Amino acid sequence: MRVMTRTYTILVFISYLFFGDVFARSIPPLFPASWATFSETQKFKAALDKIPKGDWISRIKPSTASLQTEESSKIKRYLEYLGILKERLNNVNDALEEFQKTYNLPVTGKLDNDTIKLIKRPRCGVTDVINVTSTMPTSFNWSWPEGKKQFNYTFIPKNNVDKSLKLKDAFSSAFSRWAKVTGLSFTETSSFNQSDILIVFLGWDENEVVAGSDLLGSVRKSGRRAMYFNVKENWVVPTADNGTVMADDELDIETVAMHQIGHMVGFRHTTTEEAAVMFPFMERGQRKLEFATDESESIQQAFRSVYNTTSNGGAAGGVGPGWVGLGIALLLSFCF
């Protein structure tokens, strides 16, 4: 695995050197962090290992008949990973029905076209269901210290993210959108020890999980959480300068960052509204940067309950060291 990851990184780096213009909006080669970086990365890897490997998803064909043994086993492992196949739903067809109900698909209990189409899409690695009796659309769980509003985030040095300002800008923009709707403040820091949120690029075998986060309530003793991205994905940062029309194999890093930040601040998946940022399945070649109307209202309501505030998007928040306030103070000092 280590040799394959190293070979991949070298090949991407060489391609970037010789075909830089082709990668106008692709991020520079990133070096995957070690799975042993901290205990949470190892837990995330253990979870990913439960998903069937290989291109089994691409080979799935629609079927109205009972699933074959091998196919049933892989679908079963996939649904177990999502949290849908538990003790109450130990029959794979019953679990498929639950999956279809959860995502507003026709309820057949079979691997029909609509179900396969959704399963084949890239998705977040955070599970959809907390227990076997209910799905948890748009649920909110604030597990940070009470009253905390300011957050520092950092990139793992091993990833070599400092070489890509546009990648940093994409994350900054995603944090800004969350700051506006929640009233929280997010600032990038170079200090690993002073960070609340770690952004980690890891390398894992291809499957439909492209990113993930520490589960809610799992703030480690240091007080930090981490979100993870697969370094092997074809991440891009579309802009007005390099073209916002994306190819079918490209995945917008800002779209996925928006989703993972939602987990960082306490939200689980929304399974009822595909337009929502917190919908767990994504589309290659598409961008989704704006909150759905109902989603934005529910986020603001959740944070009003946390801080007991009433404002458009919560208390004043933002990204960075508050330059606007500083500028106003300087202007007033010159005037008076």
Annotated binding site for Zn(2+): which residue ranges? 124, 259, 263, 269, 278
Q: Is 333 left (phi over 0), alpha (psi -120 to 50) or beta?
A: alpha
Q: Residue positions in the annotated binding site for Ca(2+)?
A: 196, 213, 215, 233
Q: Residue positions in the annotated binding site?
A: 124, 196, 213, 215, 233, 259, 263, 269, 278
Residue 245 and residue 239: Cα distance in Å, rounded?
Answer: 9
The phi and psi torsions of 123 (rounded to 5 degrees) equal -150, 170
DSSP 163: G
Q: Taking the CB of residue 114, how many other CB atoms lie within 10 A of it?
A: 15
DSSP 274: T
Residue 75 and residue 150: Cα distance in Å, rounded?
Answer: 42
How far CA 74 is from CA of 114, 119, 208, 283, in Å, comes to 18, 12, 13, 23
Q: Give Cβ neighbours of residue 113 (< 8 Å, ≥ 6 apart).
A: 62
The phi and psi torsions of 154 (rounded to 5 degrees) equal -145, 155
Contact 229, 201 (CB under 8 A): yes
Look-up: residue for tokens 């997010």? 186
DSSP 183: -
